Amino acid sequence: MRIAFGISYKGQNFHGWQKQTQAGILSIQSVLEKALYNFTKEHISIYVAGRTDARVHALEQIIHFDTNCIREEFSWVRGTNSWINRLGYKDINVLWAKTVNQDFHARFNAISRTYHYALYVSPTPPVCFKGLTGYLMHPHRILNTENMQKAASYLVGQHDFSSFRASICQAKSPIKTMYDISIQQKHPWYIFTIKGNAFLHHMVRNIMGCLIKIGTDKEPAIWMKEVLEAKNRIKAAPTFMPDGLYLAKIEYPEGVDLPYIKPEFPWNI
């Protein structure tokens, strides 16, 4: 049977989602597959909706896997979480489990992905949120939100996002569709919500680098349009830090009936 999980994790102690071939490099996938092996005694391969980078978090990531093991849905949650904890990992949690059709695929059936980026703007860093938020040292704590929102509007729609693509990106095409980018200001926090059909490697963090450059009045809003149209990574700002980035929600077509637990997010989106 095919099982889907909703999972959450704090990413600061992991080298991203994808398991690595090098020994000693810890990933979210490797921990989950080890926990599932201990629970089922099967070697299970996991498929994920969206791979996250090192130190990036997930409020609700979606995975699926095939298994011959028969368990109640609540047992999948309790049993997998129990083994995650017994293996010594406290930063990964299964939220729910659901038996799905054999044609369900966590990645290929997804129609949108939403990310939040939590940014703390202050003369001093937020020590209580270390690893959980991006930080920008700014003496006045104020960014030009109006210009950032105007700049973000140039990215909405279907575009070639090569200017925001990491050199190691393995995506077949740089053309993606951006549905919405919104910015909420709650001093000293700025919360960016970015929704698209799919994302390139480092795409959100590269967009964040450009938005911050505009928000600090180092570039005008129209510069974002120029960067986008250049289709050249060197025209954009440096990749911004991963700490404040959260994969928040994966959406599927109507008829794919998955549970949804509104995730806890400290900044009340």
pLDDT at 268: 64
Residue 22: predicted pLDDT: 76
Whether 53 sits among the annotated catalytic residues: the reply is yes
In the chain, what are the domain boundaries?
2-109, 112-248
Query: By the 8 A CB rule, do 240 and 202 touch?
Result: no
Same fold, 2-109 and 112-248: yes
Written as one string, the DSSP assignment of the chain is -EEEEEEEE--TTSS-SS--SSTT---HHHHHHHHHHHHHSS----EESS---TT-EEEEEEEEEE-S----HHHHHHHHHHHHHHTT--SEEEEEEEEE-TT--TTTT--EEEEEEEEEEESS--GGGTTTSEEEE-TT----HHHHHHHHHTT-EEEE-GGG--TT---S-SEEEEEEEEEEEETTEEEEEEEES---TTHHHHHHHHHHHHHTTSS-THHHHHHHHHT-GGGSPPPPPSTTEEEEEEE--TT------PPP-TT--
Q: What are the backbone dihedrals phi and psi of residue 73, each rounded to the nearest 5 degrees, phi first?
A: -60, -40
- CATH code linked to domain 2-109: 3.30.70.580
pTM for the whole structure: 0.95
Structure tokens at 21: 């071939």
The catalytically annotated residue of 53, 91, 160, 243 is: 53
Give pLDDT, residue 25: 86
- What pLDDT, on a 0 to 100 scale, did the predictor assign at position 261? 79
pLDDT of residue 251: 96
Topology adopted by domain 112-248: Alpha-Beta Plaits (3.30.70)
User: Which phi and psi angles does 35 have, rounded to 5°?
Assistant: -65, -40
Kindly report whether the peptide bond that precedes residue 188 is cis, defined as omega within 30 degrees of 0. yes
* 10-residue stretch averages of pLDDT, the chain, 269 residues long: 96 91 86 97 96 94 97 97 96 96 96 96 92 91 95 98 93 96 92 97 97 97 98 97 95 92 69
Predicted local distance difference test score (pLDDT) of residue 140: 78
